[in-house]
Amino acid sequence: MDRRPVPPSRAAGRRPGRPATVTRTALADAVLRLGFPGLTVSAVARELGVSHASLYRHVTGREQLIALALDRIVAAAPWPEPDGGWRAYLAGTAGTLWDLLDAHPGLAAEMAVAAPLSPAAVERMNTFGTALLGHGFAPADAVLACDLVVDLACDVHALWERIDGPHDPGAAHAAGALAPELRTEFTAVLAADPRSWFERKLTVVLDGVAAGLAPD
């Protein structure tokens, strides 16, 4: 009689096989390789070498794929510490978010339409808001200040991704419809570095936070 020990896989009635290729890490990596514009579940399945149907055993759809990638992006970002005053903290957080949107074209549009339910993003927002509480903000004002800064970065970046500079046909048409004294300024904005325009808008928003939300 063969008294050699039975391998665990045989004892349990399972055949040994290769490790699963579809993991949360593999899914996030595939999304980041493909990029956000035009992302589909089918494209991710092809990237991983699995069937479209089998991928749905791991994710519910495109939104969850984006959330997994956003988890990776947010968790790896060099977010500022809240030890330099609320204004510096808001500005630093906004700057880091802008850098992430620059590094991942199409992410701003995804977040501007409907932010995916990413655990890391939710935790970052919790850290963001709690830091403002530590600076003396009331809870409602902390939430509003966070929302203003995040929305501003996402909306401005998404808009700039849709506009191809001052020669974009839609932008040129809009400029032509303006009064002459406004047209020059509008065209200059379109030709400017997007980040400089964002930072000008951010300054106005932070002035508003100082006037209406920040503790005295």
CATH 1.10.540 for domain 1-76, yes or no, is no
Q: Tens digit of pLDDT per residue, the chain (216 long)?
A: 444 444 443 334 334 444 457 899 999 999 999 999 999 999 999 999 999 888 999 999 999 999 999 999 999 999 999 998 999 999 999 999 999 999 999 999 988 776 667 899 999 999 999 999 999 999 999 999 999 999 999 999 998 888 765 566 776 767 778 888 888 887 887 778 899 999 999 999 999 999 999 998
Residue whose pair of structure tokens reads 């996402």 in the numeric block: 154
Domain ranges of the chain: 1-76, 77-216
Contact 101, 107 (CB under 8 A): yes
What number does CATH give the domain 77-216?
1.10.357.10
Stated pTM of the model = 0.83
**What whole-number distance in Å separates Cα of residue 211 and Cα of residue 192?**
28
- Count of CB atoms situated within 10 Å of the CB of 41: 17
Q: What is the sign, positive or negative, of the torsion defined by CA atoms of 180, 182, 183, 185? A: positive
